[in-house]
Structure 1
């Protein structure tokens, strides 16, 4: 027992020494926040009862579990399509672990442990874990080399698999206290430390995420070698010989963010998911090492992405060929790719940028992505998904990369399992703190428990967000205490559609957020997008904030010609779209004149409860012969973008012309 206590004290001491430097702002852990929120609780519960079981069932039925069983026996034939299919099990375990921390479930816990046993048996004696090779090393397929790692910089995904293993293992350990998966991850990470590094093997991982995973392992174990290796992998980028003159993103290295060293990169480029994981890893390493060159690079890249490469509903990765960012201002509607995983990565990165800088603009982007482009990726049933997220669907629409309707799973099912792990972690994005500064970033009903200095304080949120802008916060310190409460005033409540000039509101609103403390209006100080209320707080102090919920018309920068003289609709954090189901079977023919007046109404029986927007508008009508064109009066019904395609496949649009001007309106 004494040896165990000494060992624990040693580990704690190592962590304290190793982690003196970190993000200046720290998130309040999701385990310290208990939700009562109708909007998010229903999604977290659906994830627990439907999405997680369906994901595990599909891992079984598609052969992903069988791959590990065959690897343990060193016989058989890899029975799924991609060598990174292992990660679907790791990500689902990660999501199940978050769920177990919030909602203990003995049956789920035992099943997860049984899967971990199968994973452990597939691990090779030196720690290598990669079923596509271990099953039959002599017949590995075109994505893999005949030896370990030789195609890692291309598409073998050996280190990508490792990264998701580490993230799943840390989540499982933090949620359950069990080391069974963590020990597997540590054994694998020690192999990487012995294999890669200065005077060892050099490689820039083909698909980033191992960097984020290594940082998480470092935080749990205190082993600085893991942090050093994460930085090593990042610094390896930009040293391979490519054809720099080629415009092909594979030949010039841009697809892998490998065309130049990371500290010289200033644009969001290449495969969008890989990019998000790289920039998140850079933020982690910058926070833990103080690397100012990393900070300068990701600041420039963020400005480029938000200013020139992001869709109005927060999605990124416009181009289907390579699932990648396009050129500056290349944001087509009909062929928008917008992978769900890229939206998830965008949430990860913007959270880290906020923790570095403390500016609300990063949470503005996070919120826009979270409430729109991200949750659009999962159906309201919890078991149907979008891999891509369209901006416009016509009746005659036919594109090989864009889905018209939702799918149960995909041959490459990275997005469904990524959603499994993101959704139950939402409580961890609500609050953050730095000393006496307590940030309220997201407006989600529930109770947060944190400490300011050595004093406990409880914050209770009560609201009906995102449908209503009336927010109440009850502050319950254990004893009277000084605290700077920082309430985010969203950009959309300050006439800022996007923290750049890419999108703007057509007409500014004169309304401002109102804040009362114990019933009395306060003149708050604004600091980096936050209303700062500094006072000595006592138990039961009540803060009320009212955010204006105007229906706003969003217009695009002139450099987005597809959206010229068009508007998108926004109310609160939500972007809206028109779908065929509510608009006489069509959506592409709707025109919203400039003098249109909108009304908002909550419909509890529609799409699990949504606020719809209605207006009297015009619609283009083409006669049966296709010769005569006219406009007619009609009623527009717009629904939140996230909720589209839950009632079958059909037309949908986000951008509406304000006048008859474009031929494409008249051909459907």
Structure 2
């Protein structure tokens, strides 16, 4: 039976280690085995403040209108019986667009009151509640299109996937507002699922899993919010049933091999990463060493062999999957925006579980590049896929796989997913433990955990200086830990009157740890040297052999056709022997630092061939005219005019 809708719920008690922790997507349970807990952060100015302001002012307010025009909200009314008509939408998971928007709006309301947005949230929560069946079930596709049948198509039906996003929205809404209304709906659905799914011999009707993992990590968070252990146990059941052939044994849906035995990531990238996020959550709450080891092993395999320079994931448009090791194409890279978001979610959980900085290194790379490219600078247009090259004369297919920014998609999973990550971004920036405060990502703002707090000022990522001031401190020694990014080869740190560099302030596992008895007003200045650099790829990556990419700090750069004299990029060659120069352009793309490089436009001798292949003879060697190349941050591409783009540049 579903829970009575009038039951008021209280969050599970926070552990003592979480005093001063953030309100965000991960709240550790009282017995969690994590090394770190999320700290509270306020982003007050700078790079991420601008992106979040656009999200709050432009993207989020458009959500209800877009959900209305696409038919998502109409379907809820239809399921509730308050209107007549036909189901609108092409997919069984269209409800999740609503839930992700509700989650994003809830995180936004937790930080900044907005009466209009609050009214929209209340209105849509009421629509969701009205569409739910008396036994807790809720999925408009199956209620309206499939005549009420349930769990007959776990491979493609996405019923549990939809439930997962509903639960995450409900947890966010409860944490942000304290109101039980949406959480009551989510618990009723979770209770229904718990009554249906289980191992053979458990008395449950179905031994099965969803083709798209998502409900698993949501159930862990529902356990954390309510203290009900059975939600955690249900999540564990689902995670461990993948890989046992319940969905036909396909790698596409993580059913080829049990997660505990897997040696690499495979199949649909978003599905794999959501499942791994759940495994990290379970390892955190239960202390399961085998699940933790599997997560660390698979993360290492992914970053070493299947991750693009931008942090993007997914080699194939077909089946949206990872592809083979070192199969990292450029113009055919899929790199779905949702996969970048899932990568951040998984890496953050591993960072908390292990305390290791390498996971936040990948978060930084992904946030500034593979993720942020997914939304336009004005917050109104989106990329579903994020290639690393668009060729001259590219014929765009349009739709969800377009290399041109789009107002909305038929499969609109990415836009509200971007909204919810930007709205909750503060949650992913810092952590704390009994020893001190750890700053994972740099922004102007305020970081706090328990009795410890610091104020930060920085113009990162354009400049590498991060100035910190201690605002609150206990009367005992504690450690302020600063992540020194993996890309950084030279830094200096000044603590009060003392200055150190990397030779006498060693970095351990990515952390610069500063321990002392701090006083209010104590200052720390970290200077990360930001020099533009050329990056090469592993020689096993055939697609970029003989190429280099331009990076500066955490940013990957690209060329756009609009910035190249004469237009066209396919014949451009980078001269790696010439120095790179930095030029800040406040007038360009909202204010960016560009990197200027030397190159030339290649000319091939005409040998009369009627096809594009030529023998490698000396008179066919490339020659050309010198050209100055202006590279912009990858996240800012496709914001001016359509045309070519490339990250990896030939050097010969």
Name the TM-score, length of structure 1 as normaliser.
0.88
**Is 1:513 aligned to residue 516 of structure 2?**
no
The structure-2 alpha-carbon separation of the partners of 1:623 and 1:101, relative to structure 1 and needing over 3 Å to count, comes to: farther
CA RMSD of aligned residues (A): 2.2
Equivalent residues in 2 for 1:226-245 (5 A)?
A: 226-240=231-245
**Cα separation, 1, equivalents of 2:131 and 2:139:** 8
The aligned counterpart of 2:435 is 436
Residues 595/170 of structure 1: CA separation in 2 closer, same or farther (3 Å cut)? same
Superposition deviation, residue 211 in structure 1: 0.6
- Indicate how the Cα distance of structure 1 residues 620 and 473 shifts in structure 2: closer, same or farther if over 3 A, else same: same
Structure 2 residue matching 1:116: 3-state secondary structure: helix
- Equivalent in the alignment of 1:555: 536
Q: Quick one: distance in 2 between partners of 1:9 and 1:191?
A: 21
2:370 is aligned with 1:373: yes
Between the two proteins, the alignment pairs up a number of residues equal to 613
Residue matched to 2:134: 125
Return the alpha-carbon distance in structure 2 between the equivalents of residues 373 and 36 of structure 1.
24
Q: Where does residue 41 of structure 1 map in the other structure?
A: 49
User: What CA distance in whole angstroms lies between the structure 1 residues aligned with 2:344 and 2:374?
Assistant: 14
Find out whether 1:489 has 2:484 as its counterpart.
yes
Q: Per the alignment, do residues 9 and 568 of structure 1 end up closer, same or farther by CA in structure 2, a change over 3 Å counting?
A: closer
3-state secondary structure, aligned to 1:634: strand
Cα deviation, residue 192, structure 1: 1.0
8 A contact 1:389–1:402 mirrored in 2 = no
Quickly say closer, same or farther: Cα 1:258–1:73, change in 2 above 3 A: same
Aligned to 1:403: 402
Displacement after TM superposition at 1:471 (Å): 1.0
Structure 2: gaps of 5 or more residues: 1-7, 18-27, 610-619
Distance of 1:618 and 1:188 partners within structure 2: 61
- Asked if residue 356 in structure 1 is aligned to residue 356 in structure 2, the reply is no
Change (3 A) 1:604 1:14: closer
Out of 7, 22, 30, which is 1:19 matched to? Answer: 30
- Secondary structure of the residue aligned to 1:110 is helix
Q: How many angstroms apart in 2 are the aligned matches of 1:643 and 1:483?
A: 40
Report the CA distance shift for 1:15/1:258 in structure 2 as closer, same or farther (over 3 A): farther
- Match of residue 608 from structure 1: 590
**C-alpha distance 14-518 of structure 1, shift in aligned 2 (>3 A):** closer
Structure 1's 626 and 63: CA in aligned 2 closer, same or farther, altered over 3 A? farther
- 1:144-166 CA-to-partner distances (Å, cap 9, x unmatched) read xx7311211x1100000000000
Residues 220-259 of structure 1 mapped to structure 2, 5 A cutoff: 220-240=225-245, 252-259=249-256
Q: Aligned-pair distance for 1:376?
A: 0.3
Change in 2 beyond 3 A, CA 1:18/1:516: closer
Superposed CA deviations along residues 573-606 of structure 1, whole A, max 9, x for unmatched, are 0000000111122222221123111111111110
- Give the Cα–Cα distance (whole angstroms) in 2 for the partners of residues 133 and 371 of structure 1: 38
C-alpha deviation, 1:399, in angstroms: 6.2
Q: Which secondary structure state, in structure 1, belongs to the residue aligned with residue 477 of structure 2?
A: strand
Residue 449 (structure 1) shift: 2.6
Distance in 2 (alpha carbons) for counterparts of 1:440 and 1:10: 27
1:480–1:539 Cα contact (<8 Å) kept? no
Give distance in 1, aligned partners of 2:78 and 2:606: 60
Contact 1:353–1:362 under 8 Å retained in 2: yes
Q: Distance in 2 between matches of 1:352 and 1:319?
A: 26
Matched with 1:202 is: 207
> Which structure ranks higher in relative contact order (CA pairs < 8 Å, sequence separation ≥ 6)?
2
1:269 Cα shift? 0.3
* 2:559 equivalent to 1:578: yes
Aligned pairs (5 A) from 1:43-442: 43-73=51-81, 76-138=85-147, 147-152=149-154, 154-198=155-199, 199=202, 200=204, 201-240=206-245, 252-398=249-395, 400=397, 402-442=401-441
Report the Cα distance in structure 2 between the residues aligned to 1:277 and 1:9, rounded to whole angstroms.
27
SS of alignment partner, residue 493 of structure 1: coil
Indicate which of 602, 605, 620 corresponds to 1:620: 602
Match of 1:141 in 2: none
Which residue does the alignment assign to 1:503?
Answer: none
**Residue 648 of structure 1 aligns with which residue?**
641
CA contact (8 A) 1:481 1:538 kept: no
SS at match of 1:528: coil
Take 1:64 and 1:362, find their aligned partners in 2: how far apart are those partners? 36
Q: Which residue of 2 aligns with 1:476?
A: 471
- Do structure 1's residue 540 and structure 2's residue 521 form an aligned pair? yes
- C-alpha separation in 1, matches of 2:158 and 2:579: 52
